[in-house]
Chains A and B, each alone.
Chain A
Amino acid sequence: MLKSGFKAGATNVVMLHKTVPQVAQELHACIGCNECLLACPAVTDSITIDVLNRETLSGPISVPVARFARSCYQCGACVAPCPVGLHRDAMMMWLKVRMLRSGWGE
């Protein structure tokens, strides 16, 4: 199933399953080099990686970060440039789950 996703022209299937501890571990391992944000086609505000990481992990979510999370369409462009092999897509997914829970749903 996964393989078919990589065939040219087929629907791109992205696996989004990472557990909370894994996402937290990756957030802690983030070195803040900004490569993921530089590669991101969806980011519009000037979001810094420290704020994004803190708000993905816990606490209130600010307006620019919420706007960014909404415009993120999980394309995965952020994953390949990461020098330490982390998965910003999974972190963004977790941020979206947190947003839904904290009432940013609409």
Chain B
Amino acid sequence: MTRQVKIQTVDGAEIVIVGNGIAGLTAAVEARKLAPDKRIVMITDQNHPTINTPALKQFAIGKLTREQLLAYPAGTERTQRIHVINARVEEIQAQKKYVCLTGGRGFGYESLLIATGSVATGLPQNLPGRDFDGVLTLHRLNDYLDMRRRLSEIEDAVVVGGGSHAIETVVSLLYWGIRVHWLIRSDTFIPRMLDRPASDMVLERIRRAGAKVYTQTEVIGVVGRVGSVNGVVTNQHQFLPCQLVLVCTGTTPVTALAAHCDLPMKSKHGILVDDQLRTSVRDIYSAGDVAALKDPQTGGYAPRAQWYAAVLQGRIAAAAMTGSVASEEGFGVPWHATRLGELSMLTVGNPLQLHDTATTLTDNSKGSYRRLSIVDDRLVGYLSLSPLQPDGLAIKRLIDEGHSISHIKKALLKGNFDARKYFSHQRTYAAHYMVHTGTLPAPGALESPIKTQPLVHTLRETGPLGVPEEAVMRSSIKSGVNTHSLYDTSTHDDLIQQKTLLFFELNEPLFFEEGFAPDLARQQQTGMPCVIESTLVALPSNTSRRTSGSLWSYSDKLPAVKAKPGNSQFIIFPRSEKEEREHSQARVHPSSSLWSYTDKHVAVKKGH
């Protein structure tokens, strides 16, 4: 699958990438786009092409085939002229700019990207019975292939771990109708990301779905019979019989190359990088799970082991390695969205920290939970648990760009914030401003507006690596974005307009560049008020939005969650006859989940 190049034929390349995870391949593809003539080599010891690792959970339970796991179309490396070398990099000679492969062969580079990813932490090394057959640490494709083969003969399984990976595994097993015992070391679920009400809500749902949850419980030994798992013993003196133990206890960045570099490379729970992804050694970059980035809010360095973060980092690393100007607007605050059972979880920024400086608003109506952290009218953290996933990237943008949220606070809290409407209105204001004042944005304001200004207001409640200047930064929070002298005296409205002007420029070209959107320049000449409206397209009704036969709806194998068709017990808003008729005409979806949503349900919620 991956193209093998004989090592003897290549003795060096301009861009060398270690690791073919999504960060590595994205960087390679992007670098090819930016530098069509450079020689790009990817060195990896992985035996398969780049895959969509977040989709492994769907793969494990048979919803996807192996071909559907590919992150890029098959043969992308060949068409993009990316040479793939199947080897392991042992050390870096940064002074002479080459890496050593297994067997002592050297390979030269001009720019080197370390994208070695992470390994699963797994069970403690000295845990009795950890090597029995049936104890699986889930991380790589092989682990999931192994798990998938076993599922048909499993009745009871134990899942170890307290993070989102663990709950995703629990949900997958429930989907297969397997009895699940879930052991969590702390007394809440992901204490780092969720507060207690949110954690209770998630655990309550997962219990109702049929899993047995044991908090403050750890495995102290695995019991086997003739070489394979028979059960686990916990620190609560329980014996839980099972045929499968799945370990989802988090990951550790692979920083071995930082240690095996002849120049000192700073690493601490990941290789420390700046916002160009440069490590502390010249011409060496790092991206993906292994790179520890600075959180603009806390000032601390931590890896962001998420898919989107890896893609973004790959792109920025490619721009840095080829000497191009990165088109991205920076990393901004952390963003994590996933499905936890029938609930969608979204965390943006730091909704849990910042207790003293931030105002916290919570809402737990209608089976969902939201928590907003606000400092001086700006959103700094957002946590949401609800059946429908909100537009998380738009909320990230609200935080990254420091929007005033006074007039959308309620919508954010109630979970009915309409991002498309909000941002298109912002553009409308911008256009109005341009037309009515007759002024175009000052050139200085448009030149990389974000790079010259603090992306996110740094807060006093910082992590351990916080620096003293932050207190000063904090005092200027209100004018954080508005640092140009041109606008110093502007009123609040002007401030909004000024910012929206920037957005407007950033968002060019608009979605409908031809045919749909009004021609801005022409309208300006004729002096007509220029309103760029959202394009509304009327469609036939009865195009209901309901959840599909989603993996994340629980299986109807489980009697606990089986909802009979037409059983109105679980339907909050009873349908009229007409609606019922419409509904019955709609396509029948495989899911009979209790949590299935109908269009009407959403409609009532929205109209509320």
Contacts and interface: CB of A to CB of B under 8 A. Distances in A.
A29 B311 contact: yes
Contacts, number: 182
Contact of A77 (B54, B55, B418, B545): B545
Nearest to A85: B389
B55 A26 contact: no
Given A31-B308, A49-B68, 10 more contacts: A8-B578, A9-B578, A12-B539, A21-B507, A33-B52, A50-B72, A54-B73, A75-B545, A83-B338, A94-B511
Contacts of A79: 545
29 contacts: A3-B606, A15-B536, A18-B511, A23-B511, A25-B393, A28-B308, A28-B312, A31-B54, A31-B307, A32-B55, A33-B57, A33-B551, A34-B58, A39-B549, A39-B550, A49-B68, A50-B71, A50-B72, A50-B73, A73-B539, A74-B537, A75-B545, A77-B543, A77-B548, A80-B548, A81-B550, A81-B552, A85-B390, A85-B392
A68 B58 CA distance: 23
Contacts of B70: 48, 50
B543 A6 contact: no
B26 to A, nearest CB: 8
Interface stretch (B293-301, B460-468, B597-605): B597-605
Interface string A29-68: 1011111001101000000111100100000000000000
B439 interface: no
Contacts of A22: 393, 507
B371 interface: no
Interface of B: 52, 54-55, 57-58, 63-64, 67-73, 307-308, 311-312, 315, 337-339, 344, 346, 388-393, 418, 420-421, 424, 506-507, 509-512, 514, 534-552, 576, 578-579, 587, 589, 597, 600, 602-603, 606-607
Interface of A is mostly: loop
A51 to B, nearest CB: 5
B52 A8 contact: no
Contacts of B603: 6-8
A83 B55 CA distance: 11
A48 to B, nearest CB: 5
Lowest 9 CB-CB distances: which A-B pairs, in order? Answer: A32-B52, A39-B548, A85-B389, A75-B543, A31-B54, A83-B339, A17-B534, A6-B603, A29-B308
Contact of B587 (A7, A29, A41): A41
Contacts of A85: 337, 344, 346, 389-393
A16 B55 contact: no
A7 to B, nearest CB: 7
A11 B538 contact: yes
B548 A34 contact: no
Given A9-B578, A19-B511, A74 B315 contact: no
A106 B129 CA distance: 65
A101 B513 CA distance: 11
B412 to A, nearest CB: 14
B392 A6 contact: no
A15 B420 contact: yes
A35 B548 contact: yes
B137 to A, nearest CB: 21
Contacts of B507: 19-22
Contact of A8 (B390, B418, B600): B600
Contact of B535 (A17, A26, A76): A17
B479 to A, nearest CB: 26
Nearest to B389: A85
B20 to A, nearest CB: 15
B130 to A, nearest CB: 30
Contacts of A10: 541
A33 B58 contact: yes
Given A29-B311, A73-B539, A20 B511 contact: yes
B549 A38 contact: yes
Contacts of B312: 28
Contacts of A76: 543, 545
B57 to A, nearest CB: 8
A99 interface: no
A48 B539 contact: no
A25 to B, nearest CB: 6
Given A16-B535, A79-B545, A85-B337, A38 B344 contact: no
A17 B511 contact: yes
B536 A13 contact: yes
Contacts of B420: 15, 17-18
A15 B421 contact: yes
A28 B514 CA distance: 24
Contacts of B54: 31-33
A2 to B, nearest CB: 7
Nearest to B339: A83
Contacts of A8: 576, 578-579, 600, 603
A16 B516 CA distance: 12
A24 B20 CA distance: 22
Given A32-B54, A50-B73, A51-B73, A16 B548 contact: no
Contacts of A34: 55, 58, 63-64, 68
A8 B600 CA distance: 7
A44 to B, nearest CB: 14
Nearest to B337: A84
Contacts of B579: 8
Nearest to A87: B391
A13 B538 contact: yes
Nearest to A51: B73
A11 B541 contact: yes
Contacts of B67: 48
Pick from B338, B537, B542, B602 the residue with the most CB of A within 10 Å: B537
A55 to B, nearest CB: 9
Nearest to A8: B579
A83 B547 CA distance: 11
Nearest to B575: A8
Contacts of B509: 19-20
Pick from A10, A29, A51, A87 the residue with the most CB of B within 10 Å: A29
B108 to A, nearest CB: 31
B537 A31 contact: no
A6 B602 contact: yes
A64 to B, nearest CB: 12
Given A76-B543, A85-B389, A101 B308 contact: no
Given A15-B421, A35-B550, A85-B344, A80 B545 contact: yes
